[in-house]
Amino acid sequence: MQSFLRKLNGIFARGSSDSSTWYPGDMAISEEQFNNYSFVIGSLFTYFNDLPEAKKLRFVKRVHQFRLSKKFHFIGLEHNNDKAILISSSAVQVTFGLNNYLLSHFRDIYILADAYHMDNDEELYIGHVAPEGIYLSWKHFMYGYSHKTDNINVAVHEMAHALLYNNFFAQYGIDSHFRMNYEKFSNSTGPILADAVANRRSYLRSYAFTNLHEFWAVSVEAFFENPKGLKENMPELFEALCRVLNQDPLTNDKLLKSKL
C-alpha cells in the first residue's frame, strides 16, 4: 500500500507543476452581495470579524467562489444557502493564506443533520473526508464554532484533511507553497510526536496520535480554535503551522506573506 501511495504521489508531483501555476481568479461581487455574505459569516466567525476591511473582501470573494464551485447535499435537512456559506467559510479560513483554496478535487459536500453511521460500521461519525466528498454533521459544525477555544472544531478538522488530500492525492488545485512546506512540516514534527508518545501526554488530545493524518488535522483544529494556547504550549508546532498555512491566526490581518 505504501509503495502504491508513493507511486501515486510521484505521478501527481509531476502533474503538479502545471496546475500549481493556476490560481482561482478574483471574482467580482456587488456591495449588496458583500454585505449579505458578511452578515452570515460574521454571525459565527470571530476570525472573519477580526479581519481588516480589505481582507474581509478577500474572504468573502473566496467564500463566494468556493460555494459556487461545490454541490451541497443536505441529508435530513432542508437546503439552505446560509449553511453552505458557513461551511465554505471553514474551508476559506483554513486555506486563507494559500493561493489555491478551492479544494478542487472535492465537488460534493454532504451536510447531515446529526452524527451518522457509515456502512455497517457501529461507530458514530461527526465528519469525514472520502475521495467522493466531504461529510459534516451540521449539529457538530455549530458546536465547533459556538464553543470557542476548546480545541474541538469538526469543520476545521475535516477541511484540514481535505487540504492534505487535495495536495497529495488529487490531480487539480495543488498549491505549491503548501506542498513544499507540508513536507518540511512533517519532517519537523517527528520530535514532537516522539516526545508526546514517550511522555504519554500532550497539549493536543490523544486522538492526534492515531496517525500522521490525524496529528495534522487535530493540530490545525487547535491552531484555529485556541492559537494562544497552542503557541504557549507547543511553540514549535505553532510556528510550523504558520509557515505551512502562510497565516498567523493571532494577528488580525492573519496573512504572513500577502503574495506567495
List residues near Zn ion by CB under 5 A: 214, 217
**Residue 143 beta carbon to Zn ion: minimum distance, rounded to whole angstroms:** 16
Decide: 256 and 242 in contact? Cβ < 8 Å.
Answer: yes
Residue 92 or 134 with smaller CB distance to Zn ion: 134
**Residue 25 beta carbon to Zn ion: minimum distance, rounded to whole angstroms:** 31
3-state secondary structure of 130: strand
**Residue 214 beta carbon to Zn ion: minimum distance, rounded to whole angstroms:** 5
Decide: 61 and 26 in contact? Cβ < 8 Å.
Answer: yes
Identity at 35, one-letter amino acid code: N
Which residue number places its CB atom closest to Zn ion?
A: 217
Residue 63 or 222 with smaller CB distance to Zn ion: 222
Sheet hosting strand 133-137, strand order edge to edge: 71-75, 108-112, 133-137, 127-130
Residues 6+ apart with CB under 8 A from 123: 117
Residue 159 or 217 with smaller CB distance to Zn ion: 217
**Residue 183 beta carbon to Zn ion: minimum distance, rounded to whole angstroms:** 20
**Residue 217 beta carbon to Zn ion: minimum distance, rounded to whole angstroms:** 4
Nearest to residue 69, comparing CAs of 105, 21, 40? 105
106 grid coordinates: 472535492
Distance between terminal CA atoms of the chain?
Answer: 34
Residue 174 or 217 with smaller CB distance to Zn ion: 217
110 grid coordinates: 454532504
Residue 51 or 159 with smaller CB distance to Zn ion: 159
**Residue 129 beta carbon to Zn ion: minimum distance, rounded to whole angstroms:** 8
Residue 86 or 217 with smaller CB distance to Zn ion: 217
Q: What are phi and psi of 29, to 5 degrees?
A: -135, 150
